[in-house]
Structure 1
């Protein structure tokens, strides 16, 4: 009898980037996870683990995709979920109608379970090259790892947690490759507006990819900063601001405003007749309110008091002011400007 140590060592693979080889076949990947699996008592874990593939099989049959289930590649249970590969040509059909059918199947199951074992699923869909030769270790590679990362990412978890457990039983996340190939290209029976771009990140993992959230039966606030991530919301708001148009015509750029500032001085945009002086004091007051320690005073023109925060302005303003006097006057600690501005310098 052959002893274990007489067996040949496993065949070593060639070093990456050392020579060119054929890509493995491209496979669609679908993975599911049950929400709050560890929150159930241990005695129910086996029930849930068996129920998940049974529910998947029923949903594929009802969606008219029984052959996809029957022909699945490198299937594996993950305890609280399931993953398998399939011909990527069927990916548009998994996005729709299968995800919607899965929502219906889970709704029926949860209604009849009488609250004993309610099952809500996160689903991730991806496409990529993976070994598929019939070996027991097939299906391992970066696309499979990314499929699991997407399943554990913040947006899809948050969406299922924030939605109603009585309405939303499925939340799906698509990799960008999956979305571009199957949805943006027009092959899926769902408009791109049904999908929301999200930054897929996983806590504690070096993973950050563009992905797309799809919820067949949404409830609650889908467009939520906590779910989509600040980056996506900020980009969305920035795009809206950039697209702002003038009310006089579509497509005109938004108004721009210019603020003139003169630290420790005065800006006159018109002609000023009469004397002006700027004197700094230790307090600030405009209409009885104090700002930063300076006080403003001046003569009334037309019954209104002119206030400029930060300076004491003294002098005769009773002369005629032609033009606009705009801007800000900020005081220079201890400096005084006096004299007639019309007077020529000698």
Structure 2
């Protein structure tokens, strides 16, 4: 039986503009057309302009861009690409007065690379994975929960990139710079890792992990943040108790507030000073 040839391993990088569908149709060509220049300038700013020239099977997707690289460049891409893209987008926003935000995904695996027609190159499961990661809710959530004037880039990398580059010690970024997140998009399901060069807003308050909605039948009313609020019955009519499902409720006169962020601190009654 003839054996099939395994394609070479390639790093796959894809970027996508947030809210491109909200751009007026007459302006989409100009906005999307700036993406290659933006990426070119990002690699130049990184001090690795040759990567733009060496990029394999480049593909403009209209509201984004995809390209492949030799795997030896993965540490550079993990360490520098997103943080430098953040700087480029900030400069662009200052020049145009219109902040633009992007999602970035990075994966690795066997991809066809025959230096032939583009339609035959860059094909493989790793490319599908990279696009699925880019479209996933966890990385979209990072931009939704952050300040649109501050956090301009959100990144998601595949488990393979995380293990080989970050855990393997080839990256200047360490494991605690990333947060694990389950991903399920269409038929794709797996684990990935989130990273934000410049977090802001709710990301600073509650972290990168996606907020899980309450399950059916759960009496907890989700406040929209990580902390949930549960109302309980209180004896008497001298006060109100507001408690988190994650900690004991402090009782007494006056308004009582409890949450895991208080770390067990008892809120005092403003009127009496008593606990």
TM range (shorter): 0.7 to 0.9
Q: Which residue of 1 aligns with 2:183?
A: 200
Offset at 1:80? 0.3
Q: Which residue of 1 aligns with 2:241?
A: none
Q: Which residue of 2 aligns with 1:42?
A: 25
Q: Which residue of 2 aligns with 1:305?
A: none
CA distance in 2, matches of 1:24, 1:110: 40
CA distance in 2, matches of 1:96, 1:146: 20
Unaligned stretches of 5+ residues in structure 2: 214-275
Task: Check 1:65–1:229 CA distance in 2 against 1; reply closer, same or farther (3 A cut).
Answer: farther
Q: Which residue of 2 aligns with 1:214?
A: 195
Q: Is the aligned partner of 1:162 residue 2:145?
A: yes
Moved over 3 A (4+): 223-226
SS at match of 1:178: helix
CA distance in 2, matches of 1:216, 1:201: 24
More helix by share: 2
The count of residues paired between Structure 1 and Structure 2 equals 212
SS at match of 2:210: helix
Q: Is the aligned partner of 1:102 residue 2:85?
A: yes
CA distance in 2, matches of 1:20, 1:228: 46
The structure whose Rg is larger is: 1
The within-5 A match list for 1:263-278 is none
Unaligned stretches of 5+ residues in structure 1: 1-17, 231-346
Is the CA contact 1:31–1:82 (under 8 Å) kept in the aligned structure 2?
A: yes
Match 1:119 to one of 60, 79, 100? 100
Q: Which residue of 2 aligns with 1:58?
A: 41
The within-5 A match list for 1:58-97 is 58-97=41-80
Offset at 1:224? 5.5
Q: Which residue of 1 aligns with 2:115?
A: 134
The within-5 A match list for 1:296-335 is none
Q: Which residue of 2 aligns with 1:238?
A: none
User: Once superposed, what is the RMSD of the aligned Cα atoms?
Assistant: 2.1
Mean CA deviation greater in 221-230 or 205-214: 221-230
Q: Which residue of 2 aligns with 1:273?
A: none
Q: Which has the higher contact order (CA 8 A, sep 6+)?
A: 2
Is the CA contact 2:141–2:210 (under 8 Å) kept in the aligned structure 1?
A: yes
Offset at 1:194? 0.6
Task: Check 1:225–1:61 CA distance in 2 against 1; reply closer, same or farther (3 A cut).
Answer: closer
CA distance in 2, matches of 1:124, 1:97: 13
Q: Which residue of 1 aligns with 2:262?
A: none
CA distance in 2, matches of 1:171, 1:101: 12
CA distance in 1, matches of 2:72, 2:13: 13
Is the CA contact 2:181–2:209 (under 8 Å) kept in the aligned structure 1?
A: no
Is the CA contact 1:30–1:126 (under 8 Å) kept in the aligned structure 2?
A: yes
CA distance in 1, matches of 2:208, 2:196: 17
Offset at 1:109? 0.5
SS at match of 1:227: coil
CA distance in 2, matches of 1:65, 1:112: 24
Is the CA contact 2:45–2:84 (under 8 Å) kept in the aligned structure 1?
A: yes
Q: Is the aligned partner of 1:146 residue 2:135?
A: no
SS at match of 2:65: strand
Is the CA contact 1:199–1:229 (under 8 Å) kept in the aligned structure 2?
A: no
TM-score, with structure 2 as normaliser: 0.73
Offset at 1:44? 1.2
SS at match of 2:34: helix
Task: Check 1:132–1:196 CA distance in 2 against 1; reply closer, same or farther (3 A cut).
Answer: same
Offset at 1:20? 2.5
